[in-house]
Amino acid sequence: MKKILLACCSAALSLAAAAQSGYVPASENIAARQQFADDRFGIFLHWGLYSLLGQGEWVMTNQDIDFREYRKLAGAFAAPAFNAHEWVTAIRQAGARYVCFTTRHHDGFSLFDTAQSDYNVVDASPLGRDVVRELADECRRQGLGIHFYYSLIDWWREDAPRGRTGRGTGRDPRKEDADAYFDFMKAQLTELLTQYGPVGAIWFDGVWDQDQNPGFDWRLDELYGLIHRLQPACLVINNHHLAPFEGEDAQTFERDLPGENSAGLSGQEVSRLPLETCQTMNHSWGYRITDCDYKPVDELVRYLVGAAGRGGNLLLNIGPQPDGRLPEAALERLAGIGEWLERHGETIYGTQAGPVTPRAWGVTTRRGDKVYLHILDWPDTELFVPLQGLRVRQATACDSGERLDFRQNDDGVVIRLGERTATPDHIVVLTIRQ
């Protein structure tokens, strides 16, 4: 146990040392961070060859599929129903402000027209269209940001450094060549950042694959430096499950709200960078044919509210089907969340975490002179809110518009809640004396 802990610490140290040292974000990057934080809600899309097998995006390594066999899937990737306009329309109507798309996942297949390898959607599949371009163009047309997920690990390329996953995919270990692999990644990132318009973020994943090899150098200084040179406003986000390294512009958490760690991937400290939590609508990232267990709309709304109350964004995942459609269950969730945000968006977008830390009854968000109490678990007829120093001018039930009685002292305010009118989130708006 001790040994593992030591290994993890030294891995974190050597990684941090290798990140973009002396990084000073450009003014357009600072503005982009604020925009990102104001957006509060994005949709994650995990789509690739793995959708054809319907067992999630890890199927290649989980089933030890030979990389030459896996490539044959590309010949069947026709996705006749893929329509970027329909995807982005449903996502925009859900109230999401950006899309994060898997340009290349761990199976190494590129969903864009890269010149660095013919193992890509245009050259190797009957679909034959640049999915990344269609999505990026459509997002721009509909006013959404586009973020690119980009895997640092690759189970398909023979030159890719071997980590703890992808070891059974039949590659010749003598062909491992980190220099060639990093050149490939830098060339691909250059394509993504020069040929697809403004990119909101590059979202890296896979650092954890080398956690048993603490000396491993991910060359993050070069990767981050390249991104910031090509597009200074582009945010660098890295799903490494550690405290942020220099050169990163936002911090992401996997399957847990900032400060919580129920899934075991989020024990890292919460930084002062903009925060984001990625979570799935069901249990899977990539399409899994047996996973129809989608969370109800109310639960997803409460998750979004929980993220906002902790000062973070929700990046909510959908795994599109192999035919190119978004699952019906996902479309229903998108519509439900959209309906809620249509009515209550002002309590989420452009807010900060409120003055009260998360409580058993719920969370708070704040914008200007308004504090929003998001009551997720109905306490009783009265609610004490420890506002410490803030003076309340008025309290209103959001849905009914009813004025609520309250009394206050230096510790906070006690509000008479009246009738419970709304699920999943009963919102009380406090107007604060400025």
Give the residue carrying structure tokens 């200007």.
368
Q: Looking at beta carbons only, is 102 or 347 nearer to ligand GLC?
A: 102
Q: Looking at beta carbons only, is 181 or 285 nearer to ligand GLC?
A: 285
Distance CA 194, CA 192 (A): 6
Distance CA 88, CA 134 (A): 10
Q: Looking at beta carbons only, is 167 or 175 nearer to ligand GLC?
A: 167
Which stretches of the chain bind ligand GLC, using CB under 6 A? Answer: 46, 57-58, 205, 239, 254, 278, 285
Output the smallest distance, CB 279 to ligand GLC, in A: 9
Output the smallest distance, CB 283 to ligand GLC, in A: 12
Output the smallest distance, CB 335 to ligand GLC, in A: 24
**What's the distance, CA 160 to chain centroid?**
25
Output the smallest distance, CB 211 to ligand GLC, in A: 12
Q: Looking at beta carbons only, is 206 or 354 nearer to ligand GLC?
A: 206
Q: Looking at beta carbons only, is 278 or 348 nearer to ligand GLC?
A: 278
Q: Looking at beta carbons only, is 286 or 355 nearer to ligand GLC?
A: 286
Q: Looking at beta carbons only, is 280 or 364 nearer to ligand GLC?
A: 280
- Residues 6 or more apart in contact with residue 323 via CB below 8 angstroms: 79, 80, 81, 82
Output the smallest distance, CB 147 to ligand GLC, in A: 12
Output the smallest distance, CB 352 to ligand GLC, in A: 25
Whole-number Cα distances in Å, 104 to 80, 124, 179, 354, 399: 20, 14, 19, 37, 44
Q: Considering only CA atoms, give the Rg of the chain.
A: 23
Q: What is the dihedral of CA 19, 20, 24, 27, to 10 degrees?
A: -100
Output the smallest distance, CB 254 to ligand GLC, in A: 5
